[in-house]
Amino acid sequence: MRAGAAQLYAGADASALVQMAAPSSDAATIPANDRYRVLIVVPLAQKTTVLRSEREGASKRGGEDADAEERRVEAQEERVRRACHTFEKNASEAVVYLINHDIIGPTADMVAGFLHRCTALNRRQTGSFLGAGIVGENLHHNPTADEVEQEKAFHQLAWTTFVDRCNIVAVPIDEALRSILLYFRLPSNRRSAGILLELAALQWFTKNREHGPTPGVFVPESQDIAVKLAFTVMMLNSEVHNPMVRSSDAHDAVYHAFVHKFRASVVDDPALAAKRKGNVLRKRDQPRVVTVMEVPADVLRAIYDRILANRLVTCSDTYATAPEFDVDWVRSPDIAATPLSDEQVSQDVEDIYCDPGFRDGILFNASSDRLPAKYSVDPTAWVRVTVRIPEPDSNFALAVRVVGASSDAPADAVTILPASRLQFHAANSACFVIRPRHVGHFTFHFVPEGSRARYYHPIPPRTIVVEGAFMRHVVQLSWKRPDPHVSHGRHLFGLDSPTSKSRWVHALDTALRASAGASAKDVMRRAERAAQALASLSPAEQSKSDVASIGTVGRSSADQGLTPLQLLGSLSPE
């Protein structure tokens, strides 16, 4: 084991930071009176630990490995095409085929991801598959009661995961339904269609409650009202766009009937009077009975106006086209900038950001899979996205929405340049550049707009992690833990420059090579002893199971520390 000298200091925000000096395993180079908090102990031994100088997920395959990987992906994509053809006739058989060939995993999340992302699927079949499964009708003849319940639970989880991938967070419920309906067609079976719609409303309610308040987005106080609102919005959509409803009087009647459905008579409670904010009509002959609006009138009016102006439509059975992405990197946030060459990308981008997912797996679509998984708040290169359709279409547009993981995210955390609405009336392509301004998790939604939106496959959302600039130069250590039932540990070191990274990589690699003769058992025994030494510094921490059982992680309290000499002593060979 090796340790580096470090010093504890307080930052401007009064949070404890650890400043690591040049790596060293020589006790003579470490001042005896230095003290610092030790957050983690990593066993530097070849038999337990692996050092990587690239980000996990980055891949620079070459030669025979690249050729073999390309052949593997081509074979898998051929199987995907076969599965899509089978899906037209028997969706369940197609999903089983994909699982048996290890293209997707046998989990609800993987099935939902495939249904949501694959552009070649028949969307009527998608709705039928989810609807039949959610009522237990996708099984063989004479299934047991347990098998039926398992089938229902699996498809319910798959459906809620499917809904999560749509644009449902920080948007009104009618806009959430608009997004969901563009990904599939409701099944003809009323029972299964009702269950799917109810679960979608509940998921919208849950996710927006977790996200927190959003200006202009009303979330009811109860799940029942959310479900009622979803069903009523669907009925309103049918009524307001009924060819028989043309006159203004007929539209007024539809609107008043819509509002009337959310009036409820309740016994007056003075304690709740302040919460009603005027949405109360007191009956003259019953002084203690009031009529309460379950949904504010202005919210209902806004929903009505949006649906009247833009009808909720379902996707077509088969799509005319799927918008294609072309992602490149530029030096400045300018859509007209010259793209970086492959060599420049290899040097400046691939070591810093994780590769897009499509390079390491099957490409189910030609859209958001190409976006990087991580981005820097102060990038060395900017992501430029070009969206193409076969020909110009004045009745189709894409609105790019960026939603933070919580409502606390600043409104300008990520900026889309030059505009967040992509139009195709004059050309068949449109570009935008992603400009991050704050760190955090952000989801990019690509919302189709226009009368022909239903004829284009919706572009699946993509979540991007925006990191601080200190994560540009990273060294990664992963190691086996003593408990075989616990997953491998992994730790990233963010360094301030390529020079610092080179020095740390050399020092850590030297330490790993020096331990080539040490047995894994001896290494883990020393790591456990180090963790116990750290735990003994803070009695309050001894009760935490992760310190005592894992053996590679130790934490000390804020008011205690450990000298580098103590750490080196606890990690030295016997």
CB atoms inside a 10 Å sphere around CB 382: 21
CA–CA distance, 22 with 50 (Å, rounded to integer): 20
Quick one: tokens of 351?
């070591």
Structural domains in the chain, sorted by start: 3-48+480-571 (no CATH), 123-309 (1.10.1000.11), 324-467 (2.60.40.10)
End-to-end CA distance of the chain: 12
What is the structure's pLDDT at 100?
A: 93
Residue 201 contacts residue 230 (beta carbons within 8 Å): yes
Residues in the chain: 574
Pairing outcome for strands 374-376 and 459-467: parallel
Task: From residue 447, give the alpha-carbon distance in Å to each of 299, 396, 421, 488, 518.
Answer: 22, 11, 9, 39, 57
Residue 544 contacts residue 558 (beta carbons within 8 Å): no
CA–CA distance, 342 with 411 (Å, rounded to integer): 34
Residue 384 contacts residue 328 (beta carbons within 8 Å): yes
H or E element in which residue 298 lies: helix 297-309
Amino acid identity, position 216 = G
Quick one: tokens of 211?
């996200």
Quick one: tokens of 574?
């016997």
User: Which residues lie below 8 Å from residue 481, measured CB to CB, with a gap of 6+?
Assistant: 487, 488, 489, 550, 551, 552
Least Cα distance to 159 among 188, 138, 129, 139 occurs for: 129
The C-alpha R_g of the chain, in whole angstroms, comes to: 29
Q: Is the pTM of this model over 0.85?
A: no
301-334 tens-digit pLDDT: 999 999 999 999 888 876 667 788 888 899 988 8
pLDDT value at 538 more than 60: no
CA–CA distance, 326 with 371 (Å, rounded to integer): 9
pLDDT value at 527 more than 80: no
**β-pair partners for 382:** 330
Lowest mean pLDDT among 28-42, 97-111, 169-183, 330-344: 28-42
Burial bucket for residue 261 (CB in 10 Å: 0-12, 13-18, 19+): middle
36-78 tens-digit pLDDT: 555 566 777 777 788 887 765 444 444 556 677 778 778 888 8
CA–CA distance, 373 with 357 (Å, rounded to integer): 8
473-499 tens-digit pLDDT: 788 888 776 565 555 677 777 777 788
Amino acid identity, position 94 = A
What is the structure's pLDDT at 553?
A: 28
The order of strands in the sheet holding 263-267 is 263-267, 289-293, 280-282
Q: What is the DSSP annotation of 160-190?
A: HHHHHTSS-TTS-HHHHHHHHHTT----S-H
H or E element in which residue 9 lies: strand 3-10
**DSSP H helical ranges for 446-519:** 498-514
415-450 tens-digit pLDDT: 999 999 999 999 999 999 999 988 888 989 898 898
CA 454 to chain centre: 25
